[in-house]
Amino acid sequence: MGVDEHMGQTVFLHSDLDCFYASVEMMLDPRLKGKAMAVTGSTEDRHGIVLAKSYEAKAKGVKTAMANWEARRACPGLICVPPQYDQYLKYSRLVRAIYLRYANDIEPFGMDENWIALNGCGSVAKGGYEVAEEIRKTVKDELGLSVSIGVSFSKIIAKLGSDMNKPNGVTVLDENNWKEKVWPLPASELLYVGPATTKKLAMLNVHTIGDLARFDPEIIHTKLGKNGIALWRYASGNDMARVSPTDYVAPIKSVGHSTTCVVDLDNEYAVWLVLYELAQDVGQRLRENELAARGVQLTVKDKDFGWNQYQTQMKMTTQNSLEIAQTAFALFKARYSWMKPVRALAVVGINLVSDNQPVQLDLFNVSARHEKWRKVDSAVDEIRRRFGYRAIRAASLLGDLKMAQDKCESVIMPNFMYQ
């Protein structure tokens, strides 16, 4: 397990910054330290939920994803601050730079979590622990942030360890003690075991990670397919996944953008405007990555949080925002029943191919129109690159789009099954 024939045993660390958003806010404003505070989305923009909270707020019942009004009811006097995503990204990069002092391969899992591969450091219990302790102290001393770290022979087991001694702790799960500490945990604690999978496992009388590890893998495969076998391997400590190289970029399989609307949308034109604005971002990112979409996926969330997802193929691949928006809007008109007003929308370009791939010519000169749009898009991209995203826009998008504005930059997520 986790053995590199040239370097000896690979030790895996999983680092998890404690209450990351809240910790950054308290570090930036020391007046918040020791107080019940939470980082919350904008109530006005309908993102009124708790994104992160201090341990003092947690002790009074405040939970992540709780509505702002619920959090204030649970914790009278709760201090709510808006998110500063630029600062979170800044400190995420600074923390990762510290990790690179100790290892060459760092794999991010969002802004606040990373896997770190240590080669040639000795055993999990000794060398791995010593490096983890040094990292923990360095992050605290240099950035004022606390990090909890799991140390193990497996990526999955290391991640479980980082949750066991919070905040600001190190947990070692080696070949001698991991079953004793991990197997009694609920199966839902295992990475990639969500609510639906938890229910399926419960129907098999699998309630703990140990239950899953001891279960017949053939039955798991029958009930859950190849993903079930992967989960069985994780629970059994047989995860062979490596930490992806620091410079590794996972292939892009889809490009999308979504928003929660500031008011419920109750007519098709309002929906069209939002879809067109979302498609602006999708088209631009497709062009930046020299990709084209062969299909479009549309997700619609209604005012009561019910959601529907639709998708369709296109006759020709495209990177054009207008075509993507038109396809998404046609899907909406054909499939959405308007039983309830629309609260949120997402547009995703799917079935991506290289933009350099040859295109079959057509009898109706559609490819010629595509080439004209390509030139227009290139000119628009260049203007935006030089003068900013809002330097040139469609006239229809200059009004009130009913869209939330508290956006966060995208963060590279790992290809977890990197081999």
- Chain segment 169-195, per-residue pLDDT in tens: 999 999 999 999 999 999 999 998 988
For residue 362, what pLDDT band results from cuts at 50, 70 and 90?
low
Residue of 94, 44, 401 lying closest to 257 (CA atoms): 401
Q: What is the pLDDT at residue 326?
A: 95
pLDDT at 96 over 90: yes
Q: Which helix (H) or strand (E) holds 155?
A: helix 155-162
Centroid of chain to Cα 416: 12
Contact 352, 252 (CB under 8 A): yes
Residues of the chain with CATH 1.10.150.20: 183-248
pLDDT digits (tens, 9 = 90+) for 259-309: 888 788 999 999 999 999 999 999 999 998 899 999 999 999 888 777 889
Angle (CA) 31-35-40 rounded to 5° is 90
Torsion angle of C-alpha atoms 49, 402, 337, 276, degrees rounded to 10: -120
State how far the Cα of 80 lies from the Cα of 405, in Å rounded to an integer: 18
Which of 45, 143, 33 lies closest to 79 in space, CA to CA? 33
Question: Contact 352/254 with Cβ under 8 angstroms?
Answer: yes
pLDDT over 80 (residue 380): yes
For 74-117, give the DSSP string. HSTT-EEE---HHHHHHHHHHHHHHHTTT-SEEEESSSSEEEEE
Per-residue pLDDT, averaged over 321-347, amounts to: 93
AA identity, residue 359:
V
Res 379: pLDDT: 86
Lowest mean pLDDT among 23-27, 41-45, 279-283, 338-342: 41-45
* pLDDT value of residue 356: 73
Phi, psi of 40 (to 5 degrees): -130, 150
DSSP run (H or E) holding 351: strand 342-354
Tell which wins on pLDDT, 370 or 39.
Answer: 39
Strand partners, 106: 116
Contact 112, 94 (CB under 8 A): no
Task: Inform me whether the pLDDT recorded for 245 exceeds 90.
Answer: no
pLDDT at residue 164 in the model? 96
Which residues on adjacent β-strands are paired with residue 11? Answer: 118
Of the candidate ranges 25-29, 139-143, 300-304, 411-415, the one whose mean pLDDT is the lowest: 411-415
Q: Which of 234-243, 284-293, 349-358, 365-374 has the lowest mean pLDDT?
A: 365-374
At residue 372 the predicted structure's pLDDT band, cuts being 50, 70 and 90, is confident
Closest C-alpha to 55, from 166, 153, 157 = 166
* pLDDT given for residue 110 in this prediction: 87
CATH of domain 183-248: 1.10.150.20
From the candidates 25, 113, 277, 323, which is the catalytic residue? 113
What is the C-alpha separation between 185 and 206, in angstroms, rounded?
11
Q: Is the pLDDT score of 409 beyond 90?
A: no
Strand spans (E) along 181-332: 255-265, 291-302, 307-318
> pTM score, two decimals?
0.73
Q: Which of 35-49, 72-86, 359-373 has the highest mean pLDDT?
A: 72-86
Q: What pLDDT is recorded for position 361?
A: 56
Partners of 9 in the β-ladder: 3
Q: Among 37-46, 106-115, 168-177, which is the least confidently predicted range? A: 37-46
The C-alpha atoms of residue 338 and residue 306 are separated, in whole angstroms, by: 12
Query: pLDDT averaged over the chain?
Result: 87
**Confidence bin at 2 (pLDDT 50/70/90):** very low
Q: How far apart are CA 308 and CA 7, in angstroms?
A: 49
- Domain span(s) for CATH 3.30.70.270 in the chain: 1-173
Is the separation of the CB atoms in 284 and 381 below 8 Å? yes
- Residue 113 among the catalytic residues: yes
Cα distances from 141 to residues 36, 135, 318, in angstroms, run: 24, 10, 50
pLDDT at 120 over 60: yes
Four-point Cα dihedral 42, 47, 49, 55, nearest 10: -60
Report residue 238 as tokens. 């047989």
Is 80 exceeded by the pLDDT of residue 367? no
> Would you identify the CATH topology of the domain 1-173?
Alpha-Beta Plaits (3.30.70)
Q: Please state the length of the chain.
A: 419
Q: Which CATH class is domain 255-397?
A: alpha beta
Residues of the chain with CATH 3.30.1490.100: 255-397
| Residue 92 CB coordination number (10 Å) | 20
